[in-house]
Amino acid sequence: MSFRKVNIIILVLAVALFLLVLHHNFLGLSSLLRNEVSDSGIVGLQPVDFVPNAPQHAVDGRQEEIPVVIAASEDRLGGAIAAINSIQHNTRSNVIFYIVTLNGTADHLRSWLSSSTLKSIRYKIVNFDAKLLEGKVKEDPDQGESMKPLTFARFYLPILVPSAKKAIYMDDDVIVQGDILALYNTPLKPGHAAAFSEDCDSSSTKVVIRGAGNQYNYIGYLDYKKERIRKLFMKASTCSFNPGVFVANLTEWKRQNITNQLEKWMKLNVEEGLYSRTLAGSITTPPLLIVFYQQHSTIDPMWNVRHLGSSAGKRYSPQFVKAAKLLHWNGHFKPWGRTASYTDVWEKWYIPDPTGKFSLIRRHVEISNIK
């Protein structure tokens, strides 16, 4: 065999070996990319489902996506369904719902969403890992929310919606009567990571909670006897805000490490008990009040008309309720229960559970009148 033929054979073998190595590396890279998309266990949040169907009503593909994050626990799933239904039917915008659940709820939720009324929505179901909260929440029987992990999902928005620059968070006990695009377009001042509805606005009722501070200022949420709170030099009379509905600038949120700041104050509360013992509202409010003190924008008060879940909601006139852009049943009484105000408005958007697991609780007299 000539020297030239030997060189050709060696060259062919070298090329074949190179192609084999290149193919192997490509398969390895593809596998890695697939794992990065599907496995987000490192942060405790795992995407479960995604339905990229376009809504049945006309949506311009050039429209910006509006991410709406809602937590959906098994015992309140009907609330999330009603909220989603009301949003979808009052906008022509390109909305995508990020529905945060715990293990075991996804199948139930998926079967409900597949009902004919909601087939057109775009959504992603995300499992929330309660291990994220270890060492950050002290279980308190008097504060039922402390034992409900999904309450804290709002603290992790950049992880829930990693590719978005802006997002809306809302609780499951709301009904949207306006176009969600208007809320999404809420202007945020430079350097502000979120916009909330303040508790001192004209559309909210001021409620005194058990004689210890008011529901509309900081002293209702934080223990000003604690030195660490006093050293923050926050005025106790500062107007608080409601965290059940807000718009977030996620670029700014990430730049300021808002999630890490919130976790810091959660841990300190576990160690030192910094929250008010007669907490005026949600257990998620105190760390948000600290982190966003004088550093947040405001949303139109009509986009969070609240207290419908308390006796104060009965003071609203039907005309005012009809004009509201968003109704919020915060408080002890939920619209799927017996004693909340304006349950008929909420029930217009409720879709019965096809599995029969979730059902409305109504007074006997209401059932009798229906019959």
Domains of the chain (ranges, CATH numbers): 66-348 (3.90.550.10)
| pLDDT at res. 248 | 98
Choice among 5-19, 20-34, 89-103, 301-315 with the minimum mean pLDDT: 20-34
Question: Would you state the pLDDT for residue 237?
Answer: 93
Q: Residue 184 has what pLDDT?
A: 98
pLDDT band at 115 (very low <50, low <70, confident <90, very high): confident
Expressed in angstroms, the distance from the first to the final Cα of the chain is 100
Quote the percentage of the chain above a pLDDT of 70: 75
SS3 string, the chain, reads: CCHHHHHHHHHHHHHHHHHHHHHHHHHHHHHHHHHHHHCCHHHCEEEEEEECCCCCCCCCCCCCCEEEEEECCHHHHHHHHHHHHHHHHCCCCCEEEEEEECCCCHHHHHHHHCCHHHCCCEEEEEEECHHHHCCCCCCECCEHHHHCHHHHHHHHHHHHCCCCCEEEEECCCEEECCCHHHHHCCCCCCCCCEEEEECCCCCCCCCECCCCCECCEHHHCECCCCHHHHCCCCCCCCECEEEEEEEEEHHHHHHCCHHHHHHHHHHHHHHHCCECCCCCCCCCHHHHHHHCCCCCEECCHHHCECCCCCHHHHHCCHHHHHHCCEEECCCCCCCCCCCCCCHHHHHCCCCCCCCCCCCCCCCHHHHHHHC
Q: What is the pLDDT of residue 90?
A: 97
Band (pLDDT 50/70/90 cuts) for residue 119 is confident
What are 19's two structure tokens? 């192609």
Indicate whether 280 pLDDT > 60: yes
| Mean predicted confidence (pLDDT) in 206-227 | 70
Q: pLDDT class for 116, splitting at 50, 70, 90?
A: confident
pLDDT tens-digit series, residues 311-357: 888 899 999 999 999 999 998 999 999 889 999 999 999 999 999 99
pLDDT at 60 over 60: no
pTM here is 0.82
Share of the chain above pLDDT 90, in %: 64
**pLDDT for the residue 228:** 97
What was the pLDDT predicted at 124?
A: 96
Per the model's pLDDT, the better-predicted residue between 76 and 32 turns out to be 76
Contact between residue 220 and residue 281 where contact means Cβ atoms under 8 Å apart: yes
Average pLDDT, rounded, for the chain: 83
**pLDDT band at 49, cuts 50/70/90?**
low
CA distances from 247 to 67, 87, 210, 214, 304 (A): 10, 15, 31, 25, 12
Per-residue model confidence (pLDDT) at position 44: 52
Given a contact cutoff of 8 angstroms between Cβ atoms, the answer to whether 175 and 84 are in contact is no
pLDDT (0 to 100) of residue 32: 28
- Tell me what the mean pLDDT of segment 203-214 comes to: 43
d(CA 81, CA 112) in angstroms, rounded, equals 8
C-alpha to C-alpha distance for 194 and 209, rounded to whole angstroms: 26
Lowest mean pLDDT among 160-164, 215-219, 300-304: 215-219
Predicted local confidence at residue 157, as pLDDT: 97
Residue 77 has what pLDDT?
A: 97
Q: How would you label 90-125 residue by residue, b for 16+ Cβ within 10 Å and e otherwise?
A: bbebbbbbbbbbbeebbebbbebbeeeebeebbbbb
Q: What is the pLDDT of residues 338-347, one digit of tens each?
A: 889 999 999 9
What does the pLDDT look like over 256-275, one tens digit per residue? 999 999 999 999 999 999 99
Q: What is the pLDDT of residue 161?
A: 96
How far is it, in rounded angstroms, from Cα 182 to Cα 249? 15
User: Lowest-pLDDT range, 49-53, 106-110, 190-194, 298-302?
Assistant: 49-53
Residue 211 has pLDDT above 50, yes or no: no
Query: What is the pLDDT at residue 222?
Result: 95
pLDDT of amino acid 353: 95
Angle, alpha carbons 148-152-155 (nearest 5°): 175
Per residue in 357-370, pLDDT (tens digit) is 999 987 544 433 33
pLDDT at 209: 37
